A and B are shown apart, each in its own frame.
Chain A
Amino acid sequence: MENKYLKDEVVRISGVDPKKCMRCGKCTATCPSFDEMEYHPHQFVYMVESGDIEPLLHSESLYKCLSCFACVDRCPRGVEPAKLVEAVKLSVIRQKESNRLKADDIAKYLDSDMPQQAIVSAFRKYSK
């Protein structure tokens, strides 16, 4: 998908208006996955707004969001960055053969105490 359409798609399915962002960085400051991310939540917002989405598509940062909604709740402008991260990630994994997590991979991650909740949640986040 060309990037100008991709930006429209990401904005549409996320319901987020990235122009509302005033670049205060609070989303990134409160993100528990900050250390694990190459592109931080505030950068997702800026890069989507400017149409510079390509680098995000190939970044591991897409899979570090914990869906904890800290950035969503604490943003003073109601931008809801996690919804943008989710939309960019979906634009990747919805492509053919682009599931991040495959059923055959599950066995190697499991231990005997791991709750079903972890497995179904990971599938929901990493696969279509």
Chain B
Amino acid sequence: MKVSYFPGCTLKNKAKDLDRYTYRTAEVLGVALEEIEEWQCCGGVFSTAKDEIASKLSSVRALKAAYKKGQPLVTVCSGCHNVIKQTNYVMQNDRDFADKVNRYMAEEDAYNGETDVYNYLELLRDVIGFDKIKEKVVNPLTGKKIGAYYGCLLLRPSTVMKMDDPENPRIIEDLISALGAEPVVYANRNECCGGYIALEDPKSAEKRSLDIIRNAKANGAEMIITACPLCKYNLIKNGADIPVVYFTELLAEAFGVKEENDGE
């Protein structure tokens, strides 16, 4: 199957491995990722202000490009996913906003939120199916105790994101199980790591991140997996003494398509 793919700025720079493992594991599953031509950065955070239009146009352009190809739009980075999915939601549900955007873009065909947006995790669960994932595992991660770290962006606002139960999610735990490892459930897996505050107030990000690391370890996690480059940065920067890796890297390892010299 062919899908439109929005990698985002970080996957072409500091998180090249997240991008690489996504391509490699998609190939195993028979999914062709067609990168949106001339995509633009999503901006990292969705502005909830109703009169903030220009900053959402890059997301609309990506959504529209996928719509024109008749494909779903797949993201990997939690930040891109949150911004694009929330933008799609307002294009579907806020007539006034969508009209302004369509007039601003001044193209013949209007866009009204028709595109299906999947995070790669959702593609794995809802389109491919975790049963199929399990069949493709050649290197089961038996005995590994892994904590899923969702953070905030994948799950909230839950009325828009609709990925999972925002307070008791299981999508990443189910993926961990499909790969033969043992998921570790801990309370702080859906609390914020501090996000972009790391830039100007790193002490605040340190407090948030330490709470998460301690809580995961106290429940027996020997590794933490995430979909978000900023979560990964904050956890590692602030003292994670267990590995913090992208879920796609774990998937590549289980599929036997991770290479020893894959590091940056």
B176 CB, nearest partner CB in chain A, Å: 23
- Chain B interface residue count, CB cutoff 8 Å, equals 47
Q: Which of A21-29, A39-47, A51-59, A64-72 contacts B (4 or more CB under 8 A)?
A: A64-72
Please name all residues of chain B whose beta carbon is closer than 8 Å to the beta carbon of A36 when the two chains form the complex.
201, 204
Please name all residues of chain B whose beta carbon is closer than 8 Å to the beta carbon of A86 when the two chains form the complex.
47-49
Please name all residues of chain A whose beta carbon is closer than 8 Å to the beta carbon of B47 when the two chains form the complex.
86, 90, 124
Question: Could you say which of B152, B194, B230 contacts A115, with CB atoms under 8 Å apart?
Answer: B230
Please classify the interface of chain B as helix (H, G, I), strand (E, B), loop, or mixed, using the class held by over half of its residues: loop
Question: Could you say which of B41, B48, B158, B198 contacts A120, with CB atoms under 8 Å apart?
Answer: B41
The tally of CB-CB contacts under 8 A between chains A and B is 136
Please classify the interface of chain A as helix (H, G, I), strand (E, B), loop, or mixed, using the class held by over half of its residues: helix
Please name all residues of chain A whose beta carbon is closer than 8 Å to the beta carbon of B230 when the two chains form the complex.
115, 117-118, 121
Specify the chain B residue showing the minimal Cβ separation from A90: B49
Specify the chain A residue showing the minimal Cβ separation from B159: A73
Other 4 A-B pairs with CB < 8 A, given A69-B157, A115-B229, A117-B229: A73-B157, A115-B233, A116-B9, A117-B228
Residues in A lying within 8 Å of B, measured CB to CB: 12-15, 32-33, 35-36, 63-64, 66-70, 72-73, 80, 82-83, 86-87, 90, 101, 109, 111, 113-126
Residues in B lying within 8 Å of A, measured CB to CB: 8-10, 13-15, 41, 43-52, 55, 77, 79, 151-152, 155-158, 166, 191-192, 194-201, 204, 207-208, 228-230, 232-233, 236-237
